[in-house]
Amino acid sequence: MHRPVIEPRTDSPASQAVGLDLDGTLAVDQGWQGGRIGLPQPGAMDALRLLAARRAVFICTARPERWLPEVADWVSWYSGLDAFFDPNPERAYWQVVGGPILITRTKLGAACYIDDRAVHHAGDWTATLATVSHVIGLDREGIPALA
């Protein structure tokens, strides 16, 4: 499935950004282990460096806020890139192309997100619900047809 190309535009901060998930996407997900982060997924740090050289990159994670400085340290250690945690709840965008990696719990505006648990929605809710039903083990027969 091909998605439209989103070219970076100066009037659209979201078009300049790429959001990434941490556990299961950048790091091997080994389940919750008291905040410990798994090793990088194969190829993840090369991909992160490539993206960061061309777009504003942020990592959005569901980890508790108190662990986010450690996430920034992990990213810096394995990627060699500067990373920092910004607790600003008012931030809506990250648009520092080629700059440090932002670590956040906030879903910011972005051209795309890279996430191991994402289900792509292309406008057809019947198809999306079928995929979600499969992923969560829901009996699709129990869901009424959509209009």
Tell me if 79 sits within 8 A of 48, measured CB to CB. yes
pLDDT digit string (tens) for 57-91? 999 999 999 999 999 999 999 999 999 998 887 88
| Residues sharing a CB contact under 8 Å with residue 90, sequence separation 6 or more, in sequence order | none
Residues 106 and 123 in one domain: no
Query: If you average pLDDT over every residue of the chain, what do you get?
Result: 87
Report the percentage of the chain scoring pLDDT > 90: 48
Residues 57 and 79 in one domain: yes
The enclosing domain of 95 has a CATH number of 3.40.50.1000
Output the six-digit token pair for 123.
Answer: 């406008």
Q: Which domain holds residue 98?
A: 13-116
Residues 103 and 41 in one domain: yes
pLDDT digit string (tens) for 14-34? 778 899 999 999 999 987 778
pTM of the model: 0.85
Residues 18 and 86 in one domain: yes
In a domain, 7, yes or no: no
pLDDT digit string (tens) for 89-146? 788 778 888 889 999 999 998 988 999 998 888 888 888 888 888 888 887 666 667 7
In a domain, 107, yes or no: yes
Q: What is residue 120's predicted lDDT score, i.e. its pLDDT? A: 87
Residues 85 and 108 in one domain: yes
Residues 21 and 89 in one domain: yes
Residues 131 and 106 in one domain: no
pLDDT digit string (tens) for 37-47? 999 999 999 99
If one counts the domains in the chain, the total is: 2
